[in-house]
Structure 1
Amino acid sequence: MGNDSTTRALARGHEAAHSGHEAGPVIRPLIAESWRRSREAGADPGVRSAPLVYDADVVADVRAAHPLDPHLPMLRDLLRNVADEAEYLMVITDAEGHALWSDGPPRVRRQADGIGLLEGFCWSEGAVGTNGIGTALAEGRPEFVYAAEHLAPVLHGWSCAGAPITDPDTGSVIACVDVSATVDALHPATVALVAAAARLAEAHLDLEMRRRDERLRERYLRRQGAPGVLVTSTGRVVGGDPGMWNGRRLPVPVPGQRLTLPDGRAAVAEPIGEAFLLRPSGDGGGSAPAGRPLLSLSMLGSDQPRALLDGAPVPLSLRHAEILALLATHPGGLSGDRLSWHLYGEDGSPGTVRAEIHRLRGQLGGVVRAKPYRLDCQIDADFLTVARLLDDGDVAAAARLCRGELLPRSDAPGIRAERDELAVRMRRQVLDRGGIDSLWAFAQTEPGRVDLEVLQRLDAVLPRTDPRRAAVALRGDRLLDPE
């Protein structure tokens, strides 16, 4: 490709195909199939530019929440020298083809501006037809699109090479890296360059994932001695017995769900922070592991708080849930007076607390200690995990795990204080640093459903074609005009 005769032959093939005739052998089958997909998706060959999906003031928020954001310096360093010397434009999009980053010489950027090959514009096949970004995403592999191979004639002066980037954690495509230039400047071999850039990005994501996996194993298997199979929230096995299962994918667990392990045994999915422990039901569901017992607490966003002691359910009244939450947030223990104040305020008394502790011990045994009152066990609580994730700056994981407020039915002064602090931190970080998924997850909680600022931010960052926009707009309208 690249000579005048090839370009003219492609143009004739393009004209024939779009006039209802045979395109001829010069049109690659890949391109003919992409033209078909594009037309079925509603692409208009007469389009003059890619459509704008993100305004300039929104792109920064979307970029900050994308998994590739920390790795942009590496990708820029890899491609910038080539792009500057050869006058190429580098573009990186999300999985839907929305351009989030671009880099290149000023002359090429000015040319690209005329067709919307810059941040905020959509380059899916459905938006602009066959192109290096949308076609690579549709095919799931690196692709090169040359001149009149583009569906839209306005793009016939360009060539582009794109390669999808896959998240090793979920196995899903999350981005596309593309190099574009005018027809006479870009060589088909550029596809090898973008493929190498995509593989390098995936290697960095894989290293990041392995570090998270190691932290999970350290927290839940080595330090706590919890038995079972450790699975991420995306369904990857990262630890447990047998170790040969590490790396295998299972259906994404649901709390309390019964599922089948690779060896055929039934297991129950127990949520532990940002992961799941799959306990084989043949183990009795409550057999104690070696070392200290593990108390798992789920108290966010539900009227029915749950507790598991080494996998065995523990029935909880609201008062007992409040006590466990308070002791979990005070690992050093609380005196009778302090616990009474946290539970009842000025109307409480240590005697009332002693009676409640006695009843709680009947369910949990020696896990609840006195003088001071404290929990003598390993603790995994959803509200503590959310707080830790916020400390670490992992807003996306915190938003996924935070299903609502801490013990929403509780009026205990200590619980109200913990609830308000966590809610304020969660909301602030979602607004300041959260992406679409974090904002949407928060908007599904009780406080988020009536948070006008969150809904307005969501409305601004959601692509125009996203089906969630209708629900967001409706909620926002109802808050602005409750009548």
Structure 2
Amino acid sequence: MTNDGERDPIARARALSATYDSVLAGDRAATPPRPLVSASWQRSLAAHVDPDKGLPPVVVPESEIPELRKAHPLNEVMPLLRSTLVSIADEAMHVMLVTDANGVILWREGASSLLHTADDSGLCPGYRVSEDAIGTNAMGTTIAVDAPVAIHSAEHLVRTFHRWTCAAAPVHDPDTGAILGAIDISGPLHTVHPAMMQLVSATAQLAEHQLRVRLAIADERLRVRNMPHLRNVNGAGALLSPSGRIIAGEPYDGWPARIEVPPGADRVQLPDGREMVVERLAEGYLLYQPKSSSASTRKRSALTLRFMGEGAPSVVVDGKVVPLTLRPAELLTALALHREGLTAERLALSLYGEDGNPTTVRGEILRLRGLIGAHVLRTRPYRLDATVDSDFDVVRRALREGRTLDALRACAGELLPRSDAPEIRELRDEITANLRQAVLASDDPEVLAEYCAHALGRDDLEAHEIALDLLPGSDPRRPQIEARCRVLTDEL
């Protein structure tokens, strides 16, 4: 592609067109296609792609695109892609396209004057541009060969795309190594530039870096939150990520890097022949030896509370996930804060103020005991008889110990954001204020950058400005923080 860009793009397009016509007619071309292109044509023709085919197939209705975007892993790095590529695409008369691993276009942004032309070529969200659907093209071919690709003019197998020049690169899942999708810049023939493929390739690497950072944060959050479950096991045990990677083990060594856990499985066999019990946690899995193969029995029940962030509150009791509504989550928060126990009167006052009704609280406690077990929630006074691991306590403890980055990574958002209970409101405001104060006082660019990407810091202009002062100019997170800073400034 570098050589292409060094020539007259129109003349180069004519030469490629002559090669295209000769090869498809079965004649010997004066200048054969590049090996990459030739191999792609062969795959495409073997998939019965018609070179005179008009448009790619529509495989996803427009109404379903928003949900697909929300669920796709690349949604997390779209702010980075927009800040890195879209402004360049606008100025250079290009469009940015992002696909999933199957070649389905999910996002399209860029020069508005080109969008009509892109529409006419089927370069739109919901269209599938894999090689077996529409032949050789940068997005489909980069997924097929798992490498950055530039396709110019008549190197596309289908004539509809001959007026385009495109460069694309794959983005990989840092957890499994699988391709998540492709990033592409496409434009008219006269806009071809030798740096297009390098730009797209570098942007894909930035996206993968950001995904690796997010994965590391998720791993650390899983480890910190669920160590009480692992410590509660007598004998060998391990914490696994949702994909089966070992996050922590007791003993430390002797574990494979990854253990496949089939859906719904309650037991797995390790490569060394050991059988392990599988318990589902809120963020992954707990493995431990069956009681028959362990000299001791398990200790007290382990209770995990996940009440921070916008998601539904949940509790895990000895590996079993129990979905909760807001009211029992409020009760569990109060009981976790007061491990000595509370009377119905104290609970009513703590959570519902002067209007709280002890009789109502007793009924709610009864229903909660049915959900998590009477052996976990004791009476006289009401108290939790379990090893309790709560996300809000992890955050508070890390802040008390001066571990600001650990606190930030353990915090998924505000504590029970829909709760209006007095004690919950007070604790929520305390955590939010203390975390922000610790972040702003840290003078650590890593902490500031993560806070700016966090739910609690996304709208904090002061934090964004401090982060830009601390981050070096070469830091890949700067473009996203600068873009968000401009938005927040404009909203003032």
What range is the shorter-chain TM-score in? 0.5 to 0.7
Matched-pair contact (CA < 8 Å) for 2:107–2:125: yes
| Aligned ranges 1:276-425 → 2 under 5 Å | 276-281=285-290, 284=293, 287-288=296-297, 292-294=300-302, 331=332, 332=335, 369-372=378-381, 375-378=384-387
Residue among 226, 230, 241 paired with 2:239: 230
- Give the direction of change, closer, same or farther, for the CA distance of 1:327–1:225 in structure 2 (3 Å limit): farther
Distance in 2, matches of 1:238 and 1:196, equals 29
Amino acid at match of 1:235: G
For residue 23 of structure 2, the aligned residue among 17, 21, 24 is: 17
Distance 1:256-1:153 versus aligned 2 partners, 3 A rule: closer
Q: 2:230 touches 2:239 (CA, 8 Å); kept in 1?
A: no
Please say if residues 328 and 364 of structure 2, whose CA atoms lie closer than 8 Å, have aligned partners that are also in contact: no
Counterpart for residue 252 of structure 1: 261
- Aligned residues: percent identity? 36
Task: Rate the CA distance shift 1:62–1:293 in 2: closer, same or farther, 3 A.
Answer: closer
The corresponding residue for 1:401 is: none
- What is the DSSP-based 3-state SS (H/G/I as helix, E as strand, rest coil) of the residue aligned with 1:114? helix
1:70 and 2:76 matched: yes
Distance verdict in 2 for CA 1:286–1:293, change over 3 Å: farther
Give the letter for the 2:277 counterpart.
V
| Aligned position for 2:213 | 207
Instruction: Quote how far apart the aligned CAs of 1:75 are.
Output: 0.9
What is the DSSP-based 3-state SS (H/G/I as helix, E as strand, rest coil) of the residue aligned with 2:191? coil
Per-residue deviation, 1:271: 1.7
TM-score calculated relative to the size of structure 1: 0.61
Contact kept in structure 1, 2:291 and 2:297, CA below 8 Å: no
Moved more, 130-139 or 265-274: 265-274
Confirm or deny that 1:266 pairs with 2:275. Answer: yes
Task: In structure 1, list runs of 5 or more residues that go unmatched.
Answer: 297-307, 314-320, 346-352, 382-390, 394-483
What letter matches 2:164 in structure 1? W
- Show the counterpart of 2:464: none
Q: Secondary structure at the match of 1:234?
A: coil
How far apart in 2 are the matches of 1:130 and 1:215? 42
Q: Residues 160-171 of structure 1 correspond to what in structure 2 (within 5 A)?
A: 160-171=166-177
**Cα distance change, pair 378–256 in 1 and its aligned pair in 2 (3 A):** farther
Q: 1:110 to 1:90 in 2, by over 3 A?
A: same
Distance verdict in 2 for CA 1:38–1:245, change over 3 Å: farther
Q: Residue 162 of structure 1: SS of its match in structure 2?
A: strand
Of 224, 234, 240 in structure 2, the residue corresponding to residue 218 of structure 1 is: 224
Bigger mean CA deviation after superposition, 58-67 or 367-376: 367-376
Task: Give the Cα separation in 2 of the matches to 1:134 and 1:71.
Answer: 21
**Secondary structure of the residue that 1:59 maps to in structure 2?**
helix
Distance (Å, rounded) in 2 between the aligned partners of 1:186 and 1:244 = 53
Residue 327 of structure 1 contacts residue 375 of structure 1 at CA under 8 Å; is this kept in 2? no
The superposition leaves residues 34-75 of structure 1 with CA deviations (integer Å, 9 ceiling, x where unpaired) of 112222333221122233334444323322232222322211
1:99-114 alignment, distance < 5 Å = 99-114=105-120
Residue 472 (structure 1) aligns with? none
Specify every segment of 5 or more residues in structure 2 that has no aligned partner in the other structure, as ranges: 305-315, 336-341, 345-358, 391-410, 414-492
Number of the residue aligned with 2:34? 28
Q: 1:92 to 1:339 in 2, by over 3 A?
A: same
Alignment of 1:89-104 (within 5 A): 89-104=95-110
How many Å apart are 1:285 and its aligned residue?
A: 5.0
The code of the aligned residue for 1:18 comes to: L
SS in 2 for 1:184: helix
CA contact (8 A) 1:17 1:23 kept: yes
CA contact (8 A) 2:103 2:182 kept: yes
Question: Does 2:187 correspond to 1:181?
Answer: yes
SS at match of 2:73: coil
The answer (yes or no) to whether the contact 1:289–1:310 under 8 Å persists in 2 is no
Tell me the matched-pair count: 348
Q: Aligned-pair distance for 1:267?
A: 2.1
Distance 1:28 1:205 in 2: 33
Counterparts of 2:256 and 2:168 in 1: how far apart (Å)?
28
Q: Do the aligned partners of residues 342 and 68 (structure 1) sit closer, same or farther apart at CA in structure 2, a change above 3 Å counting?
A: same
Asked if 1:240 corresponds to 2:249, the answer is yes
Matched, 1:194 2:200: yes
For the residues of structure 1 that align with 2:328 and 2:109, how far apart are their CA atoms? 53
Match for 2:140 among 134, 140, 158?
134
CA distance in 2, matches of 1:286, 1:23: 76
Give the 3 Å change call, closer, same or farther, for CA 152–69 of structure 1 in structure 2. same
Q: Deviations over 1:9-43 (max 9, x none)?
A: 32233223322345566212221221122223332
The alpha-carbon deviation at position 185 of structure 1 amounts to 1.5
Query: Which of 111, 122, 127 in structure 1 is aligned with 2:128?
Result: 122
Matches of 1:123 and 1:334, distance apart in 2: 63
SS of 2:168 mapped into structure 1: strand
Q: Aligned partner of 2:34: which letter?
A: R
CA contact under 8 A between 1:146 and 1:158: conserved in structure 2?
yes
TM-aligned CA deviation for residue 237 of structure 1: 1.4
Distance 1:131 1:286 in 2: 61
Q: Hey, what's the Cα distance between the residues in 1 that align with 2:50 and 2:84?
A: 35
What residue in structure 2 maps to residue 467 of structure 1? none
* Alpha-carbon separation, structure 2, partners of 1:282 and 1:341: 36
CA shift digits 1:111-169 (9 cap, x unpaired): 22221223332211122211000111111221111111100112112111111111223
Cα gap change, 1:153 to 1:219, in 2 (>3 Å): same
| Structure-2 residue corresponding to 1:468 | none
| Residue matched to 1:275 | 284
Name the residue aligned to 1:154: 160
In 1, Cα distance between the equivalents of 2:258 and 2:212?
15
Structure 1 range deviating more: 251-260 or 83-92:
251-260
Aligned residue identity for 2:123: L
Partner of 1:425: none
TM-score w.r.t. length of structure 2: 0.60
